[in-house]
């Protein structure tokens, strides 16, 4: 006889992964508690872009119309590559996974969370802010997991999902040997008013640096610049606007207007780029890692958020397929590892190509992009689709994911 099926789930962390998973699992009729250590919903106003596969996953989470309404979709998926002076290198068009789903969309992070939180509110998910785990006993797969929260309350769950991000506390408890790896890149971001004519994604490839521009709403865009930081310096947040301007001082073309706007009144963010390239298993006992806690990627492919949302959709599919038994935990890692590792590897390579620091090699890279950039983009997305259909676990299986 099968042991008791999974009925009651605790999700730790209400980021993109945690909120999406709370939605997909609540839709299965599971009892879901979602805890978040922040005492209120507080998310960056900076932007994020979501490619077509991530938008498809948002469709399956049931929020695509609201996302399309709040964000800024590029209907033809055009990315204009320029050098740092603003001279054209080439244009590339991102593909769409299916008609009706744009190739790419930019959106404020806070808008994604507002929309996911709105959907959660309709599903009866028990959401607890300012809450975290202080003790966890979940290592015996044959018994329910026991959790003690920071308010002293104690509760049992059939499954604990660690969606608590790159510095996951729960991962630290179950796999203390895994920690984020500093990739020695830094990313600078700021938000600006969007001129009406700016409707495409731009990527300016400098010498050792890249700077992108992406619309995120009808009236806003954000810029994001990447620089190698081998010494892992610490920058005082008060100085971030000045340092951002200095780091990209040589950039002209469309970036120049926005760099000139960066002032001490701007909301500038600096982030050290890290990744978590954890081998399987991504579970232990009754605890499962997903989202950045399992597979944080460098941001150069803009796929980390999409991977987190796909995780939520795939876990739902697999729970049904495994009749809510704990065998789903291993199956989840088997299904998601090849996809997430592929993205991580590709993203690392893109980061390295953007960090070439001598002018001659940059010229050769730019020439190579003119010949091959479109092909490489197409191959990346084709391979992503192939891997996503690995063992039939594609987030496109509407039959299985529909209630
Ligand atoms: C500079 C940069 C740019 C990026 N750009 C893009 C992009 O354009 N497109 C894209 O798709 N991806 C992008 N990403 C990646 C994307 O941001 C992440 O992959 C995504 O946010 C992961 O979501 P998550 O929910 O797993 O983790 P997080 O977003 O980190 O959420 C984790 C949540 O858990 C909470 N938490 C943490 N610890 C605890 C605890 N102990 N108890 C309770 N709660 C806890 C946190 O407060 C947080 O709310 C970028 C990443 C970086 C660093």
| Pocket lining: 164 vs ligand 1, CB cutoff 6 Å | yes
| Pocket lining: 300 vs ligand 1, CB cutoff 6 Å | no
Q: How far apart are CA 84 and CA 211, in angstroms?
A: 8
Residue closest via CA to ligand 1's atom 7 equals: 302
Q: Which atom of ligand 1 is nearest to the CA of 170?
A: 41
| Pocket lining: 257 vs ligand 1, CB cutoff 6 Å | no
Evaluate whether residue 288 is within a structural domain. Answer: yes
Ligand 1 binding pocket mutation candidate from 40, 268, 292 (most atoms within 8 A of CB): 292
**Half-sphere exposure at residue 389, Cβ-oriented, CA atoms within 13 angstroms:** 9
C-alpha distances in angstroms, 370 versus 25, 77, 201, 375, 382?
Answer: 45, 17, 17, 10, 20
Evaluate whether residue 243 is within a structural domain. Answer: no
| 26 within 8 A of 44, measured Cβ to Cβ | no
pLDDT tens, position by position, for the chain (403 residues)?
457 899 999 999 999 999 999 999 999 999 999 999 999 887 776 899 999 999 999 999 999 999 999 999 998 999 999 999 999 999 999 999 999 999 999 999 999 999 999 999 999 999 999 999 999 998 888 889 999 999 999 999 999 999 999 999 999 999 999 999 999 999 999 999 999 999 999 999 999 999 999 999 999 999 999 999 998 899 999 999 999 999 999 999 999 999 999 999 888 999 999 999 999 999 999 999 999 999 999 999 999 999 999 999 999 999 999 999 999 999 999 999 999 999 999 999 999 888 888 999 999 999 999 999 999 999 999 999 999 886 555 555 444 433 3
Strands 133-137 and 72-74: unpaired
| Pocket lining: 305 vs ligand 1, CB cutoff 6 Å | yes
Evaluate whether residue 94 is within a structural domain. Answer: no
Q: 308 lies in which domain range?
A: 8-72+102-180+276-355
Instruction: Give me the pLDDT at residue 316, please.
Output: 97
Instruction: Give me the pLDDT at residue 393, please.
Output: 55
For the CA atoms of 111, 113, 118, 120, the dihedral, rounded to the nearest 10 degrees, stands at 160
Evaluate whether residue 56 is within a structural domain. Answer: yes
Evaluate whether residue 171 is within a structural domain. Answer: yes
Evaluate whether residue 124 is within a structural domain. Answer: yes
Q: Positive or negative, the Cα torsion across 279, 12, 108, 336?
A: positive
| 90 within 8 A of 30, measured Cβ to Cβ | no
Instruction: Give me the pLDDT at residue 42, please.
Output: 79
| Pocket lining: 248 vs ligand 1, CB cutoff 6 Å | no
| Pocket lining: 145 vs ligand 1, CB cutoff 6 Å | no
pLDDT tens digit sequence for 334-388: 999 999 999 999 999 999 888 888 999 999 999 999 999 999 999 999 999 999 8
Q: Which atom of ligand 1 is nearest to the CA of 168?
A: 38
Evaluate whether residue 112 is within a structural domain. Answer: yes
Encoded tokens for 8: 């009651």
Instruction: Give me the pLDDT at residue 394, please.
Output: 58
Q: In angstroms, what is the span from residue 8 Cα to ligand 1's centroid?
A: 24
Torsions phi, psi for 113 (to 5 deg)? -70, -40
Q: Which atom of ligand 1 is nearest to the CA of 47?
A: 8
Residue (of 238, 236, 18, 232) closest to 117 by Cα position: 18
- The residue assigned the tokens 């001659």 is 360
Evaluate whether residue 236 is within a structural domain. Answer: no
Ligand 1 binding pocket mutation candidate from 162, 308, 309, 343 (most atoms within 8 A of CB): 308
Domain holding 346: CATH number? 3.50.50.60
Q: How far apart are CA 101 and CA 52, in angstroms?
A: 6
Cis omega (within 30 of 0) for bond into 13? no
Q: In angstroms, what is the span from residue 166 Cα to ligand 1's centroid?
A: 7
How many structural domains compose the chain? Answer: 1
């Amino acid at each position: 006889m099968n042991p008791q099926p999974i009925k009651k789930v605790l999700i730790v962390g209400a980021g993109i992964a945690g909120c999406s998973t709370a939605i997909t699992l609540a839709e299965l009729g599971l009892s879901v508690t979602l805890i978040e250590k922040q005492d209120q919903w507080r998310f960056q106003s900076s932007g994020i872009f979501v490619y077509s596969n991530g938008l498809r996953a948002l469709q399956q989470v049931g929020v695509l119309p609201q996302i399309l309404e709040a964000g800024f979709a590029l209907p033809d998926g055009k990315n204009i590559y320029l050098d740092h002076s603003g001279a054209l290198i080439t244009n590339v068009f991102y593909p769409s996974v299916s008609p009706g789903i744009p190739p790419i969309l930019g959106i404020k992070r806070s808008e994604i969370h507002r929309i996911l939180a709105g959907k959660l509110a309709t599903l009866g998910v028990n959401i607890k802010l300012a809450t975290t785990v202080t003790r966890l006993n979940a290592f015996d797969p044959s018994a329910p997991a026991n959790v003690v929260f920071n308010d002293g309350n104690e509760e049992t769950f059939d499954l604990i999902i660690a969606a608590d991000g790159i510095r996951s506390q729960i991962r630290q408890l179950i796999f203390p040997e895994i920690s984020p790896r500093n990739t020695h890149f830094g990313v600078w971001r700021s938000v600006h008013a969007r001129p009406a004519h700016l409707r495409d994604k731009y990527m300016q490839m400098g010498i050792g640096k890249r700077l992108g521009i992406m619309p995120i709403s009808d009236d806003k865009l954000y810029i994001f610049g990447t620089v190698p930081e081998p010494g892992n310096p610490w920058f005082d947040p008060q100085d971030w606007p000045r340092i951002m301007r200095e780091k990209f001082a040589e950039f002209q073309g469309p970036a120049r207007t926005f760099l000139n706007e960066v002032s001490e009144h701007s909301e500038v963010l600096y982030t050290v780029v890290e990744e978590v390239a954890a081998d399987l298993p991504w579970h232990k006992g009754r605890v499962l890692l997903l989202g950045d806690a399992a597979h944080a990627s460098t941001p150069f492919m803009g796929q980390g958020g999409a991977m987190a949302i796909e995780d939520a959709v795939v876990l739902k599919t697999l729970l049904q397929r495994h009749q809510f038994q704990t065998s789903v935990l291993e199956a989840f890692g088997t299904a998601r590892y090849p996809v997430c590792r592929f993205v991580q590897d590709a993203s690392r390579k893109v980061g390295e190509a953007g960090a070439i620091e001598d002018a001659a090699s940059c010229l050769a890279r730019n020439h190579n992009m003119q010949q091959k950039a479109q092909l490489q983009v197409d191959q990346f997305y084709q391979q992503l689709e192939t891997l996503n259909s690995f063992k039939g676990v594609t987030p496109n299986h509407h039959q299985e994911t529909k209630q």
